[in-house]
Structure 1
Amino acid sequence: MTHLPLARYRYSFRMDAPLRLPPYAGSLLRGQFGAALRRVSCMTGAARCDGCPLRATCPYPAVFEAPAPVTHDMQRFSHIPNPYVIEPPPLGSPPIGAGETLCFNLVLFGHALSHLPLISLALQRAVEQGLGPQRAAGRLARIEVQRRADGAEPAWAEIWQPAAAAIAAHDARFAVAPTQADAGATQAQLVFDTPLRLQHQGQPVRPPALTPRKLAADLLRRITLLAEFHAGRPGLIPDAPALVQHATHLGQQLELHWHDWSRYSSRQRQEMTLGGALGSWTLTGELGPLLPWLRLGEWLHVGKNATLGLGRYRLAHPSAAPSDPTPSPC
């Protein structure tokens, strides 16, 4: 059994004004979070992080702009995964009225967990200052952490409310371990709640071209990089190449459709069209070796733009109850 530093938090805000979210709110929430985290973290007031003498110890780049290594045994990286995932309200959520609650999840991995109080303050400030074009403001009402036990329904435990002086102590570990049922598992279904964007040579892979090998390679690569750069666990999956090769022999049934939507990029200052696959992806064959990592992927997501909440799936398998049956319940 391997324990990794990992937790999913649910933030609930009581809105003071009506809020109309975009069709997919992950980009909006990430942009507001990043700007607020920089404001509460920065000690120098520099316009850019590059060249800042405090960059090595500042929480903002460690969480939001993780620097890539100059050299690496695996390959040369232009960037590495950041240690957080924002899980926004479901696609196409209705407007939230004044007095109603905005809920979304935040997954934190590795060293990012040590910055939970600062991250929570940043989210609180971001919503207090207003979201969206209408600058709808709200107040943080509750923080919860997800508690998960294999074979049991997930539960949420409250760890902060406005009267609390600090966030309560809680378990922030995830056990990666095979179950007894894994050895004989021959079928697993991945139900994607948010669009999946696997890429090949910089271009998104459409559903007809998706393969179990591509899924396994992207997921194991993401886990490996997160573990090495954000948890000090290089070589977490020593048999990763063999697992990717093993996935080549799996069968599949694709019931995925392509979904396009537009988002505004603050960095590029323009509307961008993104697309991804929604629906279910059933894998068949000898799945036991992959299942512990597929369960971890329920929390870390898979594919490009995972920090926006894309590539979130639920694993339907007797030994792996879905970690969160609905994308972001209040």
Structure 2
Amino acid sequence: MSGAGRALALPLARYRFTAQLEADLPLPVFAGPLLRSVFGAALHHVACTTGQTRCSACPLWRSCPYPAVFETPPRPTQFEQQFSQVPNPYVIEPPLAGEGDGMLCAGGPLVWHMVLAGEPTLTRLDLIVHAWRRALRQGLGELRVPGRLLSVERLDPDGGAPLPVLAGDGSRVIAHESRLWLPLPAVDADESATPTLEATLHLTTPLRLQHQGQALGPEQLDARTLLSQMLRRTNLMLDLHLGVRPAPFDAPALLAAVLPVLSERRALRWQDAPRYSARQRREMNLGGVVGRWTINAPAHALAPLLPWLHLGQWLHLGKNATMGLGAYRLETSTTNALLSKTV
């Protein structure tokens, strides 16, 4: 490779929330739906000014901060295909995902993370923190276990010290300008001189990729499905929330270059992620695959995909990403050259 090309400065940040519980809290196998539910209810309460039962029927639908954050209204994109549902500008990363049923004891810390994407969402951080405070006061789980927010910190993707978001007395939110720097590597034109690169996704929460509405198991998945759905979600997030237009890559061209020369190794298994849907009044299973997925290809074909795979560690992959599904850690042979920085 001939070194780095241009870089994208993306308005994207990950925050760590720490709360203290006033009683024991039974935590489900996957707590993403629980946290998303209480956050959404609290955000709606603090943001809604009209009391409409359906946001889409409200005259403030496209200006209210609640749908802007929690249920993004569809709007035109740069793509020929338009979408009736679009991704939201946040991801909740719950604690203990995939580690089995657990009990968080009274007085102990409850720690989760939240990724916020886009300038409008980042500027609403104070409202988001306020909503989490209300959610904790109202209580979590069937027992409505109350708690209080102790701290919020913005995490450094390079492993540096986190920055406090709450003032020392917790009275106000401290704003930090956040940029995730994503270098876009340039590759030598001489394909014969480029080495083989390897990228491994360590899937830590169930990855739920679907075909015709059906979740795909380990035997049904392939690299084409993984990469095409990753690029599709990335493109929509860049367009709708991260302010990147036109698209910084040609998805069909990237796939055409890498798929014929790609090999893969997979050590995947299915993991259930049950949840109760209050809207549908029934138990649902949001399971998907976890484990290790490794892709090998010549550098000239794989390197252009690595920045978007790296970005996926913030955006997550697949269905129900906002609940924390589709989380992974990326390991590559060129990790040091591709790591992003914040300012």
TM-score (norm. length: structure 2): 0.87
Corresponding residue to 2:116 among 108, 121, 134:
108
Aligned residue number for residue 299 of structure 1: 314
User: Matches of 1:64 and 1:141 in 2, distance apart?
Assistant: 23
Change (3 A) 1:50 1:284: same
Q: Distance in 2 between matches of 1:80 and 1:65?
A: 9
Structure 2 CA distance, aligned partners of 1:181 and 1:163? 50
Structure 1 equivalent of residue 291 of structure 2: 279
* 1:53 alignment counterpart: 59
Paired position in structure 1 for 2:327: 312
Using the alignment, how far apart are the partners of 2:36 and 2:284 within structure 1? 15
C-alpha distance in 1 between matches for 2:85 and 2:64 = 18
Report the Cα offset of residue 50 of structure 1. Answer: 2.2
Unpaired runs of 5+ residues, structure 2, are 1-6, 189-193
Instruction: Say which of 65, 69, 73 aligns to 1:67.
Output: 73
TM-score, normalised by the number of residues in structure 1:
0.90
Alpha-carbon distance between aligned partners in 2 of 1:277 and 1:204, rounded to the nearest angstrom: 10
User: 1:198 corresponds to which letter in structure 2?
Assistant: L
How far has the Cα of 1:181 moved from its partner?
Answer: 10
Q: Separation in 2 of the partners of 1:222 and 1:30?
A: 20
Code of the residue aligned with 2:48 in structure 1: it is C
Is structure 2 residue 135 aligned with structure 1 residue 126?
Answer: yes
Give yes or no for contact 1:63–1:82 (8 Å, CA) kept in 2. Answer: yes
Quick one: structure 1 residues 185 and 161, their matched pair in 2 at CA, closer, same or farther if it must change by over 3 Å?
farther
Residue 259, structure 1, aligned to residue 267, structure 2? no
Indicate which of 204, 208, 216 corresponds to 1:197.
Answer: 208
Q: After the TM superposition, which of the residue ranges 300-309 and 212-221 deviates more from structure 2?
A: 212-221
1:48 deviates by: 1.8
Alpha carbons of structure 1 residues 268 and 154: separation in structure 2 relative to 1, 3 Å: farther
The whole-number CA distance in structure 1 between the counterparts of 2:22 and 2:12 is 32
Aligned-pair identity in percent equals 46
Q: Is the 8 A contact 1:295 1:320 kept in 2?
A: no
- Alignment CA distance shift 1:222-1:119 (3 Å): same
Tell me if structure 2 keeps the 8 A contact 1:259–1:275.
Answer: yes
Q: For 1:118-138, what per-residue CA distance to the aligned partner results, in whole angstroms no more than 9, with x for missing partners?
A: 011101110111000111111
Quote the offset at 1:73 in angstroms.
3.5
Structure 2 residue aligned with 1:208, among 219, 222, 241?
219
What code does the residue aligned with 2:115 have? V
Please show how residues 222-237 of structure 1 align to structure 2 within 5 Å. Answer: 222-237=233-248
CA distance, structure 2, for counterparts of residue 145 and residue 70 of structure 1: 31
Residues 101-125 of structure 1: per-residue CA shift (max 9 Å, x gap): 0000000101211211101110111
Deviation (angstroms), 1:270: 1.4
Shift of the alpha carbon at 1:6? Answer: 0.3
Q: 1:298 to 1:154 in 2, by over 3 A?
A: farther
The worse-fitting range, judged by mean Cα deviation, of 244-253 and 182-191 is: 182-191
Count of residue pairs brought into register by the alignment: 320
Deviations 1:65-95 (A, max 9, x none): 1112378733242300011000000222631
| Structure 2 contact 39–132 (Cα < 8 Å) conserved | yes
**Take 1:185 and 1:228, find their aligned partners in 2: how far apart are those partners?**
31
RMSD of Structure 2 on Structure 1 (CA)? 2.2
